[in-house]
Amino acid sequence: MSTLTSRRMLLGRIAAAAVLATALAACGSAPTPAAPGGAAGGDGKLVMGFSQVGAESGWRTANTKSVQESAAAAGVELKFSDAQQKQENQIKAIRSYIQQKVDIIAFSPVVETGWDAVLQEAKRANIPVILTDRAVDSPDTSLYKTFLGSDFVVEGTKAGEWLVAQYQGAAAAPVAVVELQGTTGAAPAIDRKEGFAKAIAANPSISVVASQTGDFTRSGGKQVMEAFLKSQPKIDVVYAHNDDMALGAIEAIEAAGKVPGKDIKIISVDAVKDGMTALSQGKINFIVECNPLLGPQLMDLAKKVHAGEQVPARVLTEETTFDQSQATAALPERKY
């Protein structure tokens, strides 16, 4: 969710060119009547314009693939554009979707603010909008139908609840937790910390004894964990805000002559392939999924919105949690 790269720019440009090409083709072939909420594609297929943030991480790539594949599976004609992490590109893409009179617009906003004008245009053109993965900050909630995405607080809560369940009924010996936070100020870091803290409050013997940022990276997680292993007299549990930091912590724990997963329990969030591999090897104890594969849910919502059905204003991504045996079972099919 951070930097943009020239390779991605190139890919983005190719994607943008492809969108332009389809747009031109659409203009050239059959100018369709502008029936309110009507189908733009002449064959009665639902047409969706989707504007993606970019392709800055493996998570995002998996997210894009999921949207494209599930659109094909659901028989939805997808017009996809990659914004290369620039808001102006997204606004341009949304305007072009409005001009093409697509049936529905879905997008993951690059930033939270500055969407009112273009979403107003979509509303006036009677094209419903669905937000995915990230929210927009606008007082006018009528600008979009629904927001589909993860709830990072819930992810933190799930992690905390598992830990509380582990020590349920045990003697009230203090349990020392160290926390590896994500990038300071990032929404997932703030929310995952908050949810976890609330959940572990249920058992007063569990406490977070140290908490530092590892910047969501492996080397960050490793360096912080190395320092914790020296400054903390006793560490029972590591709670990492993502898998990469947990993987770094594993290496630090091993270098300290301890066994990750046994001497020190590890909880993490994301469930990317490397994390799941470590979980199935017993080096991580529990992973809360942060699911990028929201394509099927998005297509489902799009069809409902198009049919005029009421949908909830906030839809959570279907997310699960994995313990070690579940990870072993799920690993062969893990795509990202």
Partner 1 sequence: MGTLRESLGERLRRSPLVLPAAALLVLLLVNVVVTPGFLALRVVDGHLFGSVVDILKNGAPTALIALGMTLVVATRGIDLSVGATVAIAGSVACTWIAGASDPTDPGTALVGIVLALGLALVLGAWNGLLVAAFGIQPIIATLVLMTAGRGLAMLITDGQIITVANPLFAELGGGFLLGLPVAVVVAAVMFAAVALLTRRTALGLLIESVGVNPTASRLSGVRARGIVWGGYVFAALCAGVAGLMISSNVTAADANNAGLWIELDAILAVVIGGTLLTGGRYSIGGTLLGALILQTLTTTVYTAGIPPEVSLVFKAAVIIVVFLLQAEKVRALLHRRRPVGERVATP
Contact positions vs partner 1 (CB under 8 A): 2-3, 5-9, 55-58, 61, 181, 184, 210-213, 215, 217-219, 222-224, 226-228, 230-231, 244, 247-248, 251, 255-257, 274
Please identify, using beta-carbon distances, which residue of 57 and 126 lies nearer to partner 1.
Answer: 57
* CB-side neighbour CA atoms (13 Å) of 198: 13
Please identify, using beta-carbon distances, which residue of 205 and 219 lies nearer to partner 1.
Answer: 219
- CA distances from residue 31 to 25, 40, 42, 50, 131 in whole angstroms, order as listed: 10, 9, 9, 21, 28
Nearest to 107 by CA among 269, 99, 122: 122
Alpha helices, DSSP H, located in the chain: 6-29, 58-74, 87-99, 116-124, 152-166, 187-200, 218-231, 243-255, 273-280, 295-306, 324-330
Could you tell me the smallest distance in angstroms from the CB atom of residue 190 to partner 1? 11
Could you tell me the smallest distance in angstroms from the CB atom of residue 305 to partner 1? 32
Please identify, using beta-carbon distances, which residue of 113 and 231 lies nearer to partner 1.
Answer: 231
Within 10 Å of residue 143's Cβ, how many Cβ atoms? 17
Please identify, using beta-carbon distances, which residue of 141 and 184 lies nearer to partner 1.
Answer: 184
Please identify, using beta-carbon distances, which residue of 49 and 275 lies nearer to partner 1.
Answer: 275
Could you tell me the smallest distance in angstroms from the CB atom of residue 287 to partner 1? 16
Could you tell me the smallest distance in angstroms from the CB atom of residue 117 to partner 1? 32
Please identify, using beta-carbon distances, which residue of 25 and 255 lies nearer to partner 1.
Answer: 255
Could you tell me the smallest distance in angstroms from the CB atom of residue 137 to partner 1? 22
What HEC string does 234-277 produce?
Answer: CCCEEEECCHHHHHHHHHHHHHCCCCECCCEEEEEEECCHHHHH
Could you tell me the smallest distance in angstroms from the CB atom of residue 10 to partner 1? 9
User: Quick one: tokens of 51?
Assistant: 């504007």
